[in-house]
Every structure is written in structure tokens, then in C-alpha cells.
Amino acid sequence: MSYILPANAAIMAIAMGQDKRGDLVIATALVSAVASVLMGLMANFPLGVAPGMGLNAYFVFTVVLQKGLSWQEALTAVFVSGWLFLVTTVLGLRWFMLKLIPHGVQLALSAGIGLFLAFLGTQAGGGMGIIVGDEATLVRLNEPLSVEGNYDAHKMWISALVFTVTVVMMAMNVKGAPLVGIIFGTIIAWSECWAQGPTSSVLLYPFGSCSDVAANGLNGTECFCYAPEKVVDVPRVATAGKLSFDILEKKQFWISVVTFYFNDLLGCAGTLIAVTRKASIMDRHGNIPKRQANAAFVADSVSTILGSVLGTSTVTTYIESAAGIVDGGRTGVVAIVVGICFSLSIPFAPLLSNIPDLATGPIVVIVGAMMMTSVEGFEWSNVEDGLPAFLTLLLIPLTFNIAYGIIAGTIFWFIIQIFLIPYRLVKKEDPLKRLKSIVMTKP
């Protein structure tokens, strides 16, 4: 899970400013530490908790950059969604809310966010730089073949190398492969920046605007290469306490709240079910122990509230927690150890905030690929479930909006069920059997 520190900071800084990258590293580490310890103490589950990949992308690219909310207003949406999650958990409504989304759409949500992440990880803005915009085709390849013809090619080829090395290590079952990949790419970038300096470096950022700098010097431009000036620093979080409640009357604010809420609900529930099954933490009926599940939801919601106050997006449980279970972890001690490790990283924010995009971008793509495993559960032969799921999967990356994917898939599923009522009456079947399954079936 350690990759979340530079990766989350890199994504969030796109909306909140590169000058806040160090603060975002500290905010990420601090909330992850507190959240994981809370999970261990309250629920006694071996679950690591941290700001969610995918939800941070939705925060930045949809809520802030596309819909026009300030990052302070977006943090307020996360704050309200955390309270909504907490209230529905305490009132026992969380499973009912979960049932409102068809099972196929729930499966597609994880995969759709995976595609969304992979798309972002390949782009020039905070990623590998392989994909750029195009007026004719919307997107195109950033032509990396010739280093002489494309100044960005150096960064792209190194990103591709980081991606390849990381995947090979994962295939060899190397523990912590994503972190090793980040370290590998970072060492290359730092070494080149220290050796060449910002006026001669071939790894200047941002993408697409620094070729003249390499030839003529900085000349007052904002181009830079990544290299830390110090190893440790006194922790400070300039993003903390920046909530803005002046937007409560806007529709887009509440759409964002609901989207954050359902994504956190689905993510936490899905990870909880998957990890507890793997750890065999079940009652005699094969269900998650209710008291522990409630405690896990409370810990998750409280952590999201804390995260928004500190300046980061929705906090959720991580499927990477399964790694601790494979090594024998079965209790909350695993989560507490994860929290302690996160806390130890806080003084090293100057190092972690200078992790280059060429190192984090490939890992974002890999995380996206790992989230695609949920498509294994798609019932492609069942059109009334398969096509709404596919619609969700398709629209999330294409619209840059998780909410649109959920809404489209869910509404389409209900429309299909309504149109099938006459057909089922003729077939002498219960016309509402699928609609009833939403209420009667346990998630």
C-alpha cells in the first residue's frame, strides 16, 4: 500500500497545486495511519485503509476540473459524504443503500474505475505522457519513437521501462513490486536531474512545454525536474481545515456527495467481503460477523471525515490487505502495523513529494489493471444484467465521471425490467421477480 503516498499526492496536486504536494504526502500518510489503526482497534480486521485510488481521480478531474468546484468545495463534498456514510451505518441502512445498485453495475463500478485510472495514468497530465489530446480523434499517441523529434520521449520511455520492470517483478511474485518500481523510476529521474541540472535536464515537466528550455535555458519558465533538496522536514499540512460550506445550494455539490458516498460504500463493502472470505473470518452461516462489519464501516466513515478535514479525498479499505492475510494475518494487529508504518513516513515528505510522474504513472495504470478483475463476475450471457454492467464500464472512463456510469447502468437496468413486465406476464412468470431480488437478496 505504500505506493499510495506519492501516487495520491501526485494526483491531488493536479487540482490543489504542485506547491502543496508535500502537504498532501503528509495528509495522506497521517489519515492512512489513523484510519488503519482505527480499523484494527474497532473492527479487529486485517484491513489497511487509505485515500482511494479512483476516487481521488474523480475528485480532481471531474468534480474540480470538469464541474468547476474549487478543491475546498470538493473536500466539503467528501466531508458531507463521510457523515452520510456514518449516519446510514449507525441507522443500519447501509445494506439497503447498497441494494439499490444492481449486482452487475456494482461489479462494473470497480472495473470502470480501473479503466478510468489506467486512462489517466497514460496521459500527459500527471501520468506516463503516452496519450495526448487531439482535435480530430480526441486522443492520440504522443509519438515516442524518436527522442530527437519529441522532447517528451525520454520521460515516456523511462515510464515504459518502469511499467515493464514492475510487471515482471509482479509476475515473479516479488513482494512490494509497485513500490520497488516507483523507487526504480525515481532513482533514474533524481540522478539525471542532479547530474544535468534544471537547465540541461531531458526530464523536465510539465509535458509538451519544455523543449525550448532544454535548448535555451529556463528563462523564467515554470519547467522543472524532480529532485529533493532535503530528506526530512518538520511536518505541516497547509491543506488542513480548508472546507467551504458556501456551495450547499448547488446541484453539482450534492451529485458529488452521493457519488463519493456510493463509491465508498461499494468499495468498503466489496473489500470487506473479499478479504474476510480469504481470511475465513465468517460466522457459522458464512456471513461477515455483524458487529465487526458495523465497526469497520464506522471506522471507514470516520476516516473519510478526517481525511477531508486534512485535505484529501475519500478514504477506503484496500484490497492489497490480502497480502497480509497471505502471510498469516487474521486480526486487527495487521492494520495497526500498517498504520504505524504510515506514520513513520511523515517526516520524509520532502522525499516523497518529489516522486516524478514517470514513476507514479505506470503504477496508476497497474492499479487500474488490478481493479479489472471484477469483470470475471459479469454474466455476459444474461443480457439484462450484462449490458447495463457494460454501459457502466464504458461510460466511466469516456465521460470522466464515475457518477454518470453508475446512474446510466442503474437506470438502464430498471428500464429493462419495466419493459420486460408484459413479456413475463405472457410467459406466466412473476413480472417483478428481478425487482424483488434487489430487496430480498443479501449483498
Q: Indicate if the pLDDT at residue 438 is higher than 70.
A: no
Render pLDDT for 19-31 as a digit per residue (tens, 0 to 9): 899 999 999 999 9
Q: Which of 10, 53, 42 is nearest to 301 (CA)?
A: 42
Q: Is the pLDDT of residue 100 over 80?
A: no
Res. 219: pLDDT tops 60: no
Which has the higher per-residue pLDDT, 266 or 375?
Answer: 375
d(C-alpha 286, C-alpha 275), whole Å = 13
The dihedral through the CA atoms of 205, 209, 213, 219 has a sign that is negative
> Comparing 91-100, 166-175, 331-340, 405-414, which segment has the lowest mean pLDDT?
91-100
Q: Please state, for a pLDDT cut of 70, what percent of the chain lies above it.
A: 89
Distances (CA, A) of 265 to 57, 60, 361, 383: 17, 20, 27, 26
Q: Return all residues near 292 (Cβ < 8 A) that are at least 6 apart.
A: 43, 44, 45, 281
pTM for the model: 0.79
Residues 169-201 have pLDDT tens digits of: 999 989 889 889 999 999 999 999 999 887 788
Asked if 358 and 164 count as a contact pair (C-beta separation under 8 A), the reply is no
User: Residue 167's pLDDT band (boundaries 50, 70, 90)?
Assistant: very high
Reply yes or no on whether the pLDDT at 56 is more than 80.
yes
For residue 60, the 8-state DSSP code is I
Residues paired with 131 in a beta bridge? 123, 141
What integer pLDDT is reported at residue 319 of this predicted model?
67
pLDDT surpasses 60 at 307: yes
Sign of the alpha-carbon torsion through 182, 185, 189, 195: positive
Please tell me the predicted confidence (pLDDT) of residue 390: 94
Residues in contact with 14: Cβ distance below 8 Å, sequence separation at least 6, in sequence order = 60, 61, 65, 125, 126
Q: Which three cell numbers stand for residue 12?
A: 491531488
* Confidence label for 207 from pLDDT (cuts 50, 70 and 90): confident
* Model confidence at 158: pLDDT above 90: yes
Residue 404 scores a pLDDT above 60: yes
Across 158-179, average pLDDT: 93
Q: 3-state DSSP call for residue 127? A: coil
pLDDT at 181: 94
Per the model's pLDDT, the better-predicted residue between 326 and 18 turns out to be: 18
- Tell me the CA distances in angstroms from 417 to 105, 175, 320, 413, 424, one per residue in order: 14, 46, 36, 6, 10
102-140 pLDDT tens trace? 888 888 888 888 898 899 899 887 789 898 888 889 888
255-259, 273-277, 416-420: segment of lowest average pLDDT: 273-277
C-alpha span between 295 and 281 (Å, rounded): 14
